Amino acid sequence: MGSAHSLPAEMRALADKTGFTSDQIEHLHRRFKQLSNDKPTLRKEHFDSVPDLEFNPIRCKIVQAFFDRRNLRQEEDGLADEINFEDFLTIMSYFRPIEPDMDEEQLQRFRTNKLKFLFHMYDSDHDGIITLQEYRKVVEELLSGNPHLEKGAARSIADGAMLEAASICVGQMVGPNQVYEGITFDDFLKIWRGIDIETKMHVRFLNMEPIAHCC
């Protein structure tokens, strides 16, 4: 799309890395500037200024995901304090739709990446396992939008989901010494087997002009 333009080398590099077109990168860059008040990096506070986000029940988790170093494809662990535009793009690239010309392997990797992102969102203590506590936390946040369901309900749902996950992933809990500690990434993949995440987890990045300017 944007290949006709003479791209700055930097942008080309970004485009190669994240798979966005230069148009999209421009849009996103504009938005990034907007969010960060023209600073080179984004901090957590900046997300507070996003309207509509405050109604989101799991906004913490989502914002946190932006600062999660695991999602930024960096080797180290933990949370970053601030992210630059490249990181921002990297996060956004998890939400790219599939390209029509992808082959099987690419699709698979695409899917796994998306799921990894989600998994990291659940696995807040970065130990590679979604424990019951972590799960409960997420479910509680999810349900926090409904004031009529108490925490107990969220807990029971999380418990139920965990039980179910255990039965999906381990099969029957037979052996006397068997303990299901939590959902590992492999289990996570199993759980998601039924959902075409690659056809769902995407956001349209084109056609952003009308709003990118107005908000």
Partner 1 sequence: MALDKEGSETEQGPPAALRVPPGPSVRPGGFCRAGAAWRGVGERGSWQCSLSLQKGAACVAVLLQTPALCSRGWEMVSQPAQLPSEPGPPTGAAFCRLPWGKRGSAGRAGPDPIFHLSRKVTSVVPESCLLILLGLGLGGIVLAVAKKAEYQLEPNMFFLFLLPPIVLDSGYFMPSRLFFDNIGSILTYAVVGTLWNSFATGMALWGLHQAGLMDPGVKAELMDFLLFGSLISAVDPVAVLAVFEEVHVNETLFIIVFGESLLNDAVTVVLYKVFNSFVELGPAHIHAMDYVKGVVSFFLVSLGGTAVGLLFAFLLALITRFTKRVRIIEPLFVFLLAYVAYLAAEMVSLSSILAVTFCGICCKKYVEANISQKSRTTVKYTMKTLASSSETIIFMFLGISAVDTSKWAWDTTLVLGTLLFILLFRAVGVVLQTYVLNHFRLIPLDRIDQVVMSYGGLRGAVAFALVILLDGAKVKAKDYFVATTIVVVFFTVIVQGLTIKPLVTWLKVKRSDHHKPTLNEELHEHAFDHILAAVEDIVGHHGYHYWRDKWEQFDKKYLSQLLMRKSAYRLRDEIWDVYYKLNIRASWLEGTRGGPLALPSMPSRTSMSESSVTNLLRESGSGACLDLQVIDTVRSRRDKEDAVMHHVLRGSLYKPRRRYKASYSRHFISPDKQERQDKEVFRQNMKRRLETFKSTKHNVCSSKSKARLKEKGRKKSAAPFSNHPLQYLAAAPVLVMVSSDEEESNSSETEREDDEGIVFIARATDEVLQGKKTPGSLDVCPSPCIIPPSPTLAEKELPWKGDQADLAVYVSSETTKIVPVDMQKAWNQSISSLESIASPPGIETGAQHKRFTCPVLEEQPQSASQAMPEQSSCFQFPSHVSKSSRSHSDSSPDGIEQQELQPLMAAEEPSRVVSSAEPRWLIQFNRASHL
Nearer to partner 1, 7 or 197 (CB): 197
Q: Binding residue for partner 1 (CB under 8 A) from 2, 21, 23, 35?
A: 35
Closest approach, Cβ 176 to partner 1, in A, equals 5
Q: Per-residue DSSP letters for the chain? A: -GGGS---HHHHHHHHHH---HHHHHHHHHHHHHHHTT-SEEEHHHHHTSTTGGG-TTHHHHHHHHHBTTTTT-SS-SB-SEEEHHHHHHHHHTTPPPPTT--HHHHHHHHHHHHHHHHHHH-TT-SSEEEHHHHHHHHHHHHTT-TTS-HHHHHHHHHHHHHHHHHHHH-S--STT----EEEHHHHHHHGGGS-GGGTS----SS-HHHHHH-
Print the binding letters for residues 98-137 with partner 1: x by CB under 8 A, - otherwise. Answer: x-x-----------------x--x----------x---x-
Between 52 and 75, CB nearer to partner 1 = 52
Q: Give the nearest distance from C-beta 8 to partner 1 in angstroms.
A: 22
- The pattern of x and - marking residues 168 through 197 that bind partner 1 according to CB under 8 A reads x---xxxxxxxxx----------xx-xx--
Question: Using the rule CB under 8 A, is 97 a contact of partner 1?
Answer: yes
Residue 200 is a binding residue for partner 1 (CB under 8 A):
yes
